[in-house]
Structure 1
Amino acid sequence: MSASNAHPMASGHVPAYLPGPDGSDPLFTFMAVTTILLILGIGALYLTLHAIPEKMAHTDNHTQFQVIGILALLALFTHNNLFWVAALLLAAFRMPDFLTPIQSIAASLEELKQRAKEE
């Protein structure tokens, strides 16, 4: 800004963030780039947080991996945190295996039944 264009009460020092005579606006450019980077960073963080239950289930080779993935996806699209908490709890704790002992008991009873028929 030249001295002839300046207001008579303006100081001689013009801050660098004000628009220059060539029309460039460094403060606007800085804030636009910062806003875009911040939005992308927050989006990446949000998606990373939503993937935590799936990553936990994948690393532990969880039997309910598909259910955990569906719950995490539902939480992402519906913004219902209850689905995400359910997926996290399901990924963190293994369900007890009730089926194997019951099948073993059934097999033993079948074998006892076959022995009783033979006698």
Structure 2
Amino acid sequence: MAAEQDVVANLNPIATEHIPPYVPLPGQSDWLMTGTAIFLIVMIVGIGVFYLKLHTLPDRMAHKGQKLQFEIVAVLCLIALFTHNHAFWIAALLLALVPIPDFRSPIVSMADSLAIIAKSYAPPPDPAESPAPVAASQATVETSDIAAEQTQNISDQDKG
């Protein structure tokens, strides 16, 4: 209180008698500047965290999907982050929202089925080219394996 009276006594004659509370006394720290600096640092870090969370939104959404979709979305997000081009981020967001259909599984299944059918309709081996009776017994085993696979595939299709 004594320091405040000294300040009031040493005031410039044209200064007002009432000094606002945010003006520091001589020799004291400026609490308004300190508070503003802390607020500014907290806001910059908070906005940065929000920006990065928002920027990785498509990446986190695609993480649940297929690996190829996730990798494409991740690359688009990185390109958008480093180039500041919002078109890449929007493309990544749309790609993350739309699931990519699985084209590979049906095609592989069809190829496997066609291979089994092609083996079952193979022409019988020429007896003149047959090297030994052992090969004939192996052919019988292969034919029975193919028949078992066809039976298994038919039963799997009936279940599905």
* Fold in common (TM above 0.5): yes
Q: Normalized against structure 1, the TM-score is what?
A: 0.81
| Deviation for aligned residue 1:11 | 3.2
Specify the alignment match of 1:36 in structure 2: 41
Q: Deviations over 1:60-105 (max 9, x none)?
A: 1432222222221121111111221222222222111112222222
Runs of at least 5 residues in structure 1 that lack an aligned partner in the other structure: none
Q: Residue 85 of structure 2 is aligned with which of 71, 80, 83?
A: 80
Which SS does the other structure have where 2:9 is aligned?
Answer: coil
Matching of residue 108 in structure 1 with residue 99 in structure 2: no
| Deviation for aligned residue 1:23 | 4.5
| Deviation for aligned residue 1:118 | 4.2
Matching of residue 19 in structure 1 with residue 20 in structure 2: no
Q: What is the count of residue pairs matched by the alignment?
A: 118
| Deviation for aligned residue 1:115 | 2.5
Matching of residue 71 in structure 1 with residue 76 in structure 2: yes
Specify the structure having the higher radius of gyration (Cα).
Answer: 2
Percent of aligned positions with the same letter in both sequences?
A: 45
Using CA pairs under 8 Å that are at least 6 residues apart, name the structure with larger relative contact order, 1 or 2. Answer: 1
Matching of residue 51 in structure 1 with residue 56 in structure 2: yes
| Deviation for aligned residue 1:26 | 2.2
Which SS does the other structure have where 1:14 is aligned?
Answer: coil
